[in-house]
Structure 1
Amino acid sequence: MRSDEFIDLYKQLEDELEVKFSTAKQRRYSSVVFEYINHYESAPVRETLNLCREIRNLMTHNANLGGEPIVEPSEPVVEALREALDYVCRPPLALDFATKGSSIRCARLSSRVLNLMESMDKSGFSHIPVIEKEKFLGVFSVSTIFSCILRDPTLRITKETTLSQLGKMLAVEKHVENYAFVDEKTTCIEARRMFEKIRGRNKRLSVIFITKTGSRDEPLLGMLTPWDVMQDIRHTDEDPESPRKKNKRDAKN
């Protein structure tokens, strides 16, 4: 029966969330589901969980009236709960939405500045990581040129000018923009939250770089911009080629 399946799925949800919040120093609510509903990570499934929580309470505390069930969850409701449970168990990773390492446009210190600028203009890339001998040195962006000219008004960019001549201005610490490094297990919703936060001097993050453990000394696995996580991850299952849909297909095969 759908009612039995619904209750079973809800119990699985509670068990998963108990594990998730087992290390929390203090919980604000006795219901672990309600605790999660009030956690930022639940945003994509919050409405579904609120509905399912109400249905579950009615089914548990007021099971029937005159021998007839008060509430009988429909198949779409059961499916919605199933998808919410899947989200809790396997939240989409930031890396799923990032430009992958092999596709990231990188530069070297020997790269010519004007060539990079032309490439950025054609491709739409706004930030290019500078890598030398697999070591992350910094980022080349429009703001790099801006900062360099402010620092040295006599600076001339010719066809022969290379990134090495821009010196220390490539380092992320010298940029007017903010960057962050995260590990490969960072979720999409965590990355989105990072982009939404205001940092020093009223600046937001421009790019998040993803490496295995979040160290800048490791190879880049992915590069994430605010635009990459603007899509509502509640709807990624509608696209058969979305990372989440692919993961589901792989899990079944």
Structure 2
Amino acid sequence: MGNTDIFLDKYKQLENCAINEFKLPPDGSAVAKLEKRSEFKDIKYELNYCREVRNLLQHNQKLDDEFPVEPSNKMIELLDTVIDRIKNPVRCIDVAILDRNLIWRSYEDRVLPTIKLMNEKNISHIPILKDRRVVGDFSDNCVFPFLLGDDNCHIDENTRFKDLKQYLDLEAHPSEVFKFIPADSKLSYAEKLYEEARNRHERIGLVFLTANGRSDERILGILTAWLIIGQ
């Protein structure tokens, strides 16, 4: 079997995978729709090229019993890659900061050393945990409301996170929201959450990963906008 026959066979496999996985209509537009999906934005031009080559091969007669062009090995490898990405999509837990590597604090920890650490490591959010469950988040979004609370509000060496408790609650952050999703969710689902938040002019502080996406479960990892952008 030559490259052309292999290419056409792989292309058909790709169409079927896309139709089954993404519930697309079997009208010949499956690959064109893949090009518009965020999880394939890095190869959308290559997909478009493959689609044009396929159309040329499919809708034009052979010349002297030969196809007018022969796809390269690279094009066949690309189709294999896309098929694999559809069958084995990247999961959120695959790119997350896992719980064992997570920098977090409890209500009893001191605030000032944490602020210094955040400044040194350029960390914007520190989850507050109790029994490995999220009970709050510390960021500049809660520091300023605390300091502006009344004249007696200040942070010194003795200030602990429990002193800021009402400002650490996830619902208390004035300009950001937080999401809980299952750890094995497709990364494309998290990307969609960020996209929808932008459309609503919201900012997602962190995406927390738990077994079933419930806020009362133990945290398994976190996602940030930077982690998603880096994919």
Shorter-chain TM-score above 0.5: yes
Output the CA distance in 2 between the equivalents of 1:175 and 1:32.
42
On the 8 A contact 2:182/2:209 being kept in 1, the answer is yes
User: Is 2:123 the partner of 1:125?
Assistant: yes
Once the 2 structures are TM-superposed, how far is the Cα of residue 199 of structure 1 from its aligned partner? 5.4
Output the CA distance in 2 between the equivalents of 1:8 and 1:55.
13
Output the CA distance in 1 between the equivalents of 2:26 and 2:13.
21
On the 8 A contact 1:195/1:205 being kept in 2, the answer is yes
Tell me the residue number matched to 1:142: 140
Query: Relative to structure 1, is the Cα distance of residues 28 and 202 closer, same or farther in structure 2, using a 3 angstrom cutoff?
Result: farther
4+ residue stretches of structure 1 with deviation over 4 A?
Answer: 27-30
Alignment length, in residue pairs? 229
On the 8 A contact 2:19/2:26 being kept in 1, the answer is no
Tell me the residue number matched to 1:160: 158
Structure 2 unaligned blocks of 5 or more: none
Query: Relative to structure 1, is the Cα distance of residues 30 and 80 closer, same or farther in structure 2, using a 3 angstrom cutoff?
Result: closer
The alignment yields a C-alpha RMSD, in angstroms, of 2.3
Output the CA distance in 1 between the equivalents of 2:52 and 2:140.
51
Tell me the residue number matched to 1:222: 221
Output the CA distance in 1 between the equivalents of 2:110 and 2:7.
61
Report percent identity of matched pairs: 31
On the 8 A contact 1:210/1:223 being kept in 2, the answer is yes
AA partner of residue 123 (structure 1): K
Once the 2 structures are TM-superposed, how far is the Cα of residue 95 of structure 1 from its aligned partner? 2.2
Once the 2 structures are TM-superposed, how far is the Cα of residue 39 of structure 1 from its aligned partner? 3.6
User: Is 2:209 the partner of 1:210?
Assistant: yes
AA partner of residue 75 (structure 2): V
User: Is 2:18 the partner of 1:7?
Assistant: no
Query: Relative to structure 1, is the Cα distance of residues 71 and 229 closer, same or farther in structure 2, using a 3 angstrom cutoff?
Result: same
Output the CA distance in 1 between the equivalents of 2:155 and 2:46.
55
Query: Relative to structure 1, is the Cα distance of residues 18 and 197 closer, same or farther in structure 2, using a 3 angstrom cutoff?
Result: closer
Aligned partner (choices 172, 192, 199) of residue 170 of structure 2: 172
Output the CA distance in 2 between the equivalents of 1:179 and 1:197.
13
Once the 2 structures are TM-superposed, how far is the Cα of residue 28 of structure 1 from its aligned partner? 9.9
On the 8 A contact 1:45/1:84 being kept in 2, the answer is no
Superposition map of 1:51-66 within 5 A: 51-66=49-64
AA partner of residue 220 (structure 1): I
Aligned partner (choices 84, 103, 106) of residue 105 of structure 1: 103
AA partner of residue 211 (structure 1): T
Output the CA distance in 1 between the equivalents of 2:81 and 2:179.
31
Write the deviation string for residues 152-189 of structure 1: whole angstroms up to 9, x where unpaired.
Answer: 34202121111111122111110122221121232333
TM-score relative to the length of structure 2: 0.88
On the 8 A contact 2:105/2:128 being kept in 1, the answer is yes
Output the CA distance in 2 between the equivalents of 1:200 and 1:132.
33
Query: Relative to structure 1, is the Cα distance of residues 3 and 153 closer, same or farther in structure 2, using a 3 angstrom cutoff?
Result: farther
Once the 2 structures are TM-superposed, how far is the Cα of residue 201 of structure 1 from its aligned partner? 7.6
Superposition map of 1:190-209 within 5 A: 190-198=189-197, 202-209=201-208
AA partner of residue 49 (structure 2): L
Output the CA distance in 2 between the equivalents of 1:114 and 1:16.
53
SS in 2 for 1:51: helix
Once the 2 structures are TM-superposed, how far is the Cα of residue 219 of structure 1 from its aligned partner? 1.7
Once the 2 structures are TM-superposed, how far is the Cα of residue 127 of structure 1 from its aligned partner? 0.7
Structure 1 unaligned blocks of 5 or more: 234-253
